[in-house]
Amino acid sequence: MSDERGWDRARWLWWLALVGGVSFFVAVHQHWHGPAIWAWKTSGVALLALWAAANARGTDGRLIALTLGFGALGDYLLDARGLIVGALAFAAGHVTAIILYWRNRRPALSAPQRWLGWLTVPAALVIAWGLTRGAPDGAAAVGYTALVAAMAASAWTSRFPRYRTGIGAMLFLASDLFIFAGEGGALSKDVTLWLVWPLYFAGQALIAWGVVSTLSRERGRA
């Protein structure tokens, strides 16, 4: 088996994850709700977590699996238990991801990439503040954005593929900002409906692919 394909121990889980995550947009568009829909929503990232776990060969592999697992838990809890409980699960995932990315910092960065890493957090905070200003939970939204933006910045400056993991983390951040835009009235929810879930799931899938493929290929060559 070639190196391009031989590193993946469970490609079937990857494809099932994509089916679960992409197909859930039907439920988003139709505004379906209920326990079965919550499970459907969870399936995409949960299967990504299982796929990452199946390919885990060390601490970093387990960290990305745990990160995705917290994301799947957050997907479920947002609907089943509410915003605060779901956000706490996502926050745990972001902290885990930051640990992973800091363990794998890129040894050298070009000036533009360094500046982008530095500016991601303050830029996201300004945008989140503008979108949620005056809202009852505005301060919590800005605080949560700081954590998501820190995750995205650390992913961008990590050694993992920037056009997979880095962009995936930025898409995740953009998804959350579009949520705030819809909730705060800056954009119609009829618009954000088409953006939030696709950006979020694409981001999670790109993050997973970039990290897992890199770690697995390295372990395979060791």
Q: Tell me, yes or no, whether 77 lies in a domain.
A: yes
Q: Per the domain annotation, does 68 fall within a domain?
A: yes
* Cβ-count burial 144-157 (b if 16+ within 10 Å, e if not): bbbbbbbbbbbbbb
Helix (H, G, I), strand (E, B) or coil at 34: coil
Nearest to 153 by CA among 125, 128, 181: 125
Question: Is residue 194 one of the residues assigned to a domain?
Answer: yes
The predicted pLDDT at position 222 comes to 56
pLDDT score, position 5: 61
Query: What does the pLDDT average to over 19-45?
Result: 98
Mean pLDDT computed over 112-126: 96
Residue type, 202: A
72-110 pLDDT per residue, tens: 999 999 999 999 999 999 999 999 999 999 999 999 999
> How many domains, the chain?
1
- The number of C-alpha atoms within 13 Å of 80 and in the hemisphere containing its C-beta is 15
Q: What is the pLDDT of residues 4-26, one digit of tens each?
A: 568 998 999 999 999 999 999 99
Is 172 within a domain? yes
Residue 1 placed within a domain:
no
Q: How confident is the model at residue 2 (pLDDT cuts 50, 70, 90)?
A: very low
Residues 70 and 64: their CA atoms lie apart, in Å, by: 10
Confidence of residue 1 (pLDDT cuts 50, 70, 90): very low
Per the structure, the complete domain to which residue 149 belongs is given by 7-221
Q: What mean pLDDT comes out for the span 185-189?
A: 94
For residue 114, is it within any domain?
yes
2 domain residue, yes or no: no
Has residue 98 been placed in a domain?
A: yes
Q: What is the pLDDT of residue 72?
A: 99
Q: How many CB atoms lie within 10 A of CB 68?
A: 30
pTM of the model: 0.94
